[in-house]
Amino acid sequence: MSTGGRFRYPLCCHEAVLDYHGVYGLQRNLLVENIIDIYRQEECSRSVVCACVWVCEGYVTGFCKHPPEPECSYVNIIHTEHDEEMVNIYCLSCETPTCSMCKGFGQHKDCEVAPLQNLSDGIAILVAGNDRIQALLSQMEETCRSIQNGRRQKQSLCGKFDGLYAILEERKKELDDKLDYIRSLIRRHDYLEGTVKLVETAIQSMEEPEMAVFLQVSNMERPEPGYESKAHFVINTENVADVLRTIDFNTGSQGKVGEDGYDLGFFQSRKDYLVGL
């Protein structure tokens, strides 16, 4: 059954492509051709052979114009100038079928010729190659359609992803606005919490047994300026060090000597000196 220029042979199930060449682009059936050639030979043997005045470019063979169809096989076609010679070669220079006599002694003596059978085999090879090329072309066309479909799908997906990205950006902006609002509420709450603590402290101060206690706090003695520097705790020990260096423990009669043998007058003078510092 054919589907879009393709059909399968009923026996071998081989898939064939029916392109612009028509039936001439199909694969050759040599068995059917041999049967047709046998019937043609029998028909030509019972009838008078006509002059070879037509050339079939598809089969590279000549036929008569009564009727204008190749009913006789090329092996039985008689040359018009040489009645006993059959057309069995093809002149490549003149592009026309001819006989061996014309090649040997006639007008095609200096031309390049080739056997018709070889040309027929070459055409069969070309037809087979054409079938393969047609199959490759079909595959390439299918690949091109797949690529085009992939590009369309890619464009469609890109458009959808762009739409999703735009939606995400919009949602992000909304969430950022909500987050900024929540942060402002947090700052306001912190400020109110500090204010509440201050008010509670003020209320506690106002709830004292004596109502004027919190006012008396303002009359308390405050430290003098510079108190924090601790300057009254500073002492200069340089003079004391000099006095200690000049201490002399003499044991003469210069002063009153105590029971332990020391000069009491000396110690009294040193005591007075240190007190004077």
pLDDT per position as a tens digit, 203-254? 877 776 665 565 565 555 666 665 556 666 666 767 767 766 776 655 555 5
Q: How many domains does the chain have?
A: 1
Is the pLDDT at 143 greater than 50, yes or no?
A: yes
Q: Does any domain span residue 67?
A: no
Q: Does any domain span residue 88?
A: no
Is the pLDDT at 115 greater than 70, yes or no?
A: yes
Sign of CA dihedral 85, 90, 96, 97: positive
Q: Does any domain span residue 79?
A: no
Evaluate whether 113 touches 96 at the Cβ level (below 8 Å): no
Read off the pLDDT of residues 80-104 as tens digits, 9 standing for 90 and up.
666 566 666 777 777 777 776 676 6
Q: Does any domain span residue 128?
A: no
Between CA 145 and CA 137 the distance in angstroms is 12
Between CA 52 and CA 63 the distance in angstroms is 5
Q: In the chain, what is the straight-line distance between the N-terminal and C-terminal CA atoms, in Å?
A: 135
Token digits of residue 63: 């036929």
Give the residue, 81 or 133, on which the prediction is more confident.
133
What residue numbers bound the domain in which 20 lies?
A: 1-42
Residue 93: predicted pLDDT: 73
Is the pLDDT at 46 greater than 60, yes or no?
A: no
Residue 92: predicted pLDDT: 74
Average pLDDT score, the chain: 70
Between CA 79 and CA 85 the distance in angstroms is 6
Q: Which pTM was predicted? A: 0.32
Between CA 113 and CA 95 the distance in angstroms is 9
Mean pLDDT check: name the lowest of 15-19, 126-130, 165-169, 247-251: 247-251
Token digits of residue 272: 């007075």
Q: Does any domain span residue 78?
A: no
